[in-house]
Structure 1
Amino acid sequence: MSEPHTRATVSVFASPTSWIESGAVAQCEQVAAFDGMIHVAAMPDLHPGKGAPIGAAMTSSVLYPFLVGSDIGCGIAVFPVGLKRAVPEKLAARFPDLDRAPDPDDPAWTVLDGDVPAGHLDGLGTVGRGNHFVELARIETVFEPDHASRLGLTAGDLVLIVHSGSRGLGERILRAHTALHGAGPAPDPAAYLAAHDDAVRWGSLNRRLMAARVAHALGADHTEPIVDQCHNLVELRDGAYLHRKGAAPGDGTDVLVAGTRGTRSYLVAAHAGPAANHSVAHGAGRKMSRGDALRRGRAKHTVDELRRTPVGSLVVCGDRQLLFEEAPTAYKRIEQVIGDLVAHDLATPVATTVPLVTYKTADLAPAPARDRRRRRGRQ
């Protein structure tokens, strides 16, 4: 007779004043009941996902592709960018169309060294939708000058922040699994991991390629990332599978914890231990569903209001629905998330970044009439 399954432990690394939706905690408890689950660590940006929580790190003796999701390899990278002057209005107009693949002669292709992982060219060099973005930001407050200096950063420096993943490749990998096994475990973990690792490499290449595209368009040289952490992946650690879904590796790594397009983000030095499954938050985390954000946003804001943020930055987004779905008010307060990471001794803030231009999707609409008049006046 087999031994009964012992329910996994669940730890939520958030303060009592943090916004944690009960449905997200319920999803953590549901995952804890899966066969082989050992421990579920929920981050302060925890929120419900499609069947599994987002903002959680989950260890198990069994590999569950469903817990990683379809955007395998999604992550956030930070690239220094050398520009003498940063006028958001001028630079926003120079961003390339990141919904379309780069032209064959685009100089950004020089970042490609060797073959494209899995030979998957579809979508390479494009940002995708949802919460993905490419942002030109300025280093604002530096809390740890020595640490920032080691990264080559000082207050006032400009950086490109790129948040994207493996596009259709990760989706293809998960679909192939779920078609046969649903939300069940991988029958051949090695085969899944081989495909998974290709998607992780692809996501990192995609972030480098987009950063190079934007840097060249803005008149700067492309650079290597000083931070590049994937937050949708699984790794074999201490004999168990550590699944991360919207949780960044936090064992001695530098992580950019994204705020919103209208707030600061935080570069942190992560030092999370086993109780947190060696993980930290990856962003502010949603507090509204997309449907709620759309309904409430349309009642409170105009499109023009959402294109210019409270911190004075500009948003490039030709999709009006996406503007409302991704409004800053749809997310938790980033300061609360960072405060919880600090209070639980998971991370130390190094610096803040403040957005100047955030690209969501191409804005192909004609310029407003007053802008056209200004342009004619300058000619």
Structure 2
Amino acid sequence: MSVHVLASGSSWIESDAVAQCHQVAALDGMLHVAGMPDLHPGKGAPIGAAMRSRVLYPFLVGSDIGCGIAVFPVALKKAVPERLAARFPDLDRAVDPAEVDEEIPAGHTDSLGTVGRGNHFVELARVDAVLDDGQATRAGLARGDLVLIVHSGSRGLGESILRAHTETHGAGPAEDAAAYLAAHDDAVGWGSLNRRLMAARVGAAIGADVGAAIVDECHNLVEVLGNGEYLHRKGAARGDGRDVLVAGTRGTRSFLVAAHAGPEANWSVAHGAGRKMSRADALRRGKAKHTVAELRRTPVGSLVVCGDRQLLFEEAPTAYKKIERVIDDLVAFDLATPVLSTVPLVTYKTADKGRRRDLGST
């Protein structure tokens, strides 16, 4: 078994996260644990890690199976953040399953088309810099283009799958790997459908044409390798020759990268900036430094739609690592090539009906 954290000495990596990597590496059948530059501690297992083993461990994927980030091109004549923020739909309210024109995985209709809490978001952003002309052209994007970034997962479906396992087996391996994988694949498909539904809902609400996803990459999943090994990813995206959106924060840039990670990284790349503060610390420190009004408009001039004041503080940009440092590490370890960066215009966290009325009257 081996552990390799692919981050420079100047990156913010908590010792607790590294310790969790070593704890995972000590599990029966574990072969290699790769920590990404956004590595941080999780509940029982590190977040920002790719873990390869001969044994399938559902707890290493966690409850939000299928969580991922999708990027959709947006055609909109004029993007005025104040007006658009007022028009965002209520993504806490599920859609009518009868309106969904494709099969719903596992027949799970609860919370369909909703974003969830925590670090999940839907963001209208603008491409502010092209870093690799050829790769950006291949992706069909240019400076000034608008995109919709959707970060969410399988909601209650993934949670029910993990709970069914842990109630009997705790943190132990899957007794019936095939049965777990079948349920897991449903959750991955459900998460992708959920992201598409939210993109369509936002497009209809703001009067924009939303195209097919340019990127839709899951970062909570298990992959069966050709040799029968299992590659668990918890907050790590597949990095084997595909494009990945590495999310910053609602007050910083995000980066689209062309991933080309190898075996040392378990063919994986970072999925975001990664937390540097616990939610409790972010709440405590944020209340001492910021007002709610300050957190609703970010340093880059974008707006935040969020009716949950506690969540505003917990998810403040200062609670996360610097996204540029994460990207620099991906480049330094030859895991990915930056293609372009985006800057947020409107970031939706959870409905704020009162603020929507205020914005709509301006």
Please confirm whether the aligned pair reaches a TM-score higher than 0.5, indicating the same fold. yes
Partner of 2:346: 357
Which residue in 1 is equivalent to 2:80?
87
Equivalent position amino acid for 2:51 in 1: M
TM-score, length basis structure 2: 0.98
Q: Distance in 2 between matches of 1:14 and 1:178?
A: 32
Report how many residues are paired: 361
SS, match of residue 251 in structure 2? coil
Q: Residue 262 of structure 2 aligns with which residue? A: 273
User: Is residue 48 of structure 2 the alignment partner of residue 59 of structure 1?
Assistant: no
- Which residue, 309, 328, 338 being the options, matches 1:320? 309
- Residue 184 of structure 2 corresponds to which residue in structure 1? 196
Residues in 2 aligned to 1:288 and 1:133: alpha-carbon distance in whole angstroms: 19
SS in 1 for 2:77: coil
- Residue 222 of structure 1 and its aligned partner are, at CA, apart by 3.1
- Determine the C-alpha separation between the residues in 2 that align with 1:139 and 1:264: 9
Q: Any residues of structure 2 matched to 1:172-211 within 5 Å, and which?
A: 172-211=160-199
The answer to whether structure 1 residue 227 and structure 2 residue 215 are counterparts is yes
The answer on whether the counterparts of 2:219 and 2:236 sit within 8 Å (CA) in structure 1 is: yes
- Equivalent-residue separation in structure 2 for 1:290 and 1:368 (angstroms): 29
CA positional deviation for 1:223: 1.8
CA distance in 2, matches of 1:366, 1:257: 29
Q: What amino acid does structure 2 have at the position aligned with 1:206? A: N
Shift of 1:237: 1.0
Aligned to 1:18: 11
The correspondence of residues 23-172 of structure 1 with structure 2, limited to 5 A, is: 23-103=16-96, 109=100, 112-113=101-102, 115-172=103-160
Moved over 4 A (4+): 103-106, 366-369
Give the drift of 1:152: 1.1
Counterparts of 1:366 and 1:151, CA distance in 2:
35
CA RMSD for the aligned pairs? 1.3
Match of 1:284 in 2: 273
Is it true that 1:215 corresponds to 2:203 in the alignment? yes
Instruction: Show the counterpart of 1:237.
Output: 225
Unmatched runs of 5 consecutive residues or more in structure 2: none
Q: Deviations over 1:331-351 (max 9, x none)?
A: 000000000000000000000
2:209 match: secondary structure = coil
Contact 2:274/2:320 (<8 A) preserved = yes
Residue 301 of structure 2 corresponds to residue 308 of structure 1: no
What is the alpha-carbon distance in structure 1 between the residues aligned to residue 66 and residue 26 of structure 2?
26
Q: In structure 2, do the counterparts of structure 1 residues 248 and 184 end up closer, same or farther at CA, with 3 Å as the change threshold?
A: same
Per-residue deviation at 1:104?
Answer: 6.3
Aligned-pair identity in percent equals 78
Q: Aligned with 2:3: secondary structure?
A: strand
CA distance in 2, matches of 1:133, 1:55: 18
**C-alpha distance in 1, partners of 2:256/2:31?**
30
1:93 alignment partner, SS class: helix
Q: Aligned with 1:81: secondary structure?
A: strand
Deviations 1:117-156 (A, max 9, x none): 0000001100000000000000110011111111110000
Aligned twin of 1:331: 320
Unaligned stretches of 5+ residues in structure 1:
1-7
How many angstroms apart in 1 are the aligned matches of 2:252 and 2:208? Answer: 25
**Which deviations, in whole Å up to 9, do the C-alpha atoms of 1:20-49 show, x marking residues without a partner?**
000000000000000000000000000000
TM-score by length of 1: 0.93
How much has 1:220 moved relative to structure 2? 1.7
CA, structure 1 residues 35+215, in 2 after alignment: closer, same or farther (shift >3 Å)? same
Amino acid at match of 2:213: P
For 2:280 and 2:357, the matched residues in 1 are separated by 28
One-letter amino acid of the structure 1 residue matched with residue 201 of structure 2: R
Cα distance in structure 2, aligned partners of 1:104 and 1:56? 35
Q: Pick the structure with greater CA Rg.
A: 1
CA distance in 1: counterparts of 2:300 and 2:212, whole angstroms? 28
- CA distance in 2 between counterparts of 1:267 and 1:223 reads 17
Q: Classify the secondary structure of the residue corresponding to 1:365.
A: helix
Q: Per-residue CA shift, 1:205-225, capped at 9, x if unaligned? A: 000000000011111233210
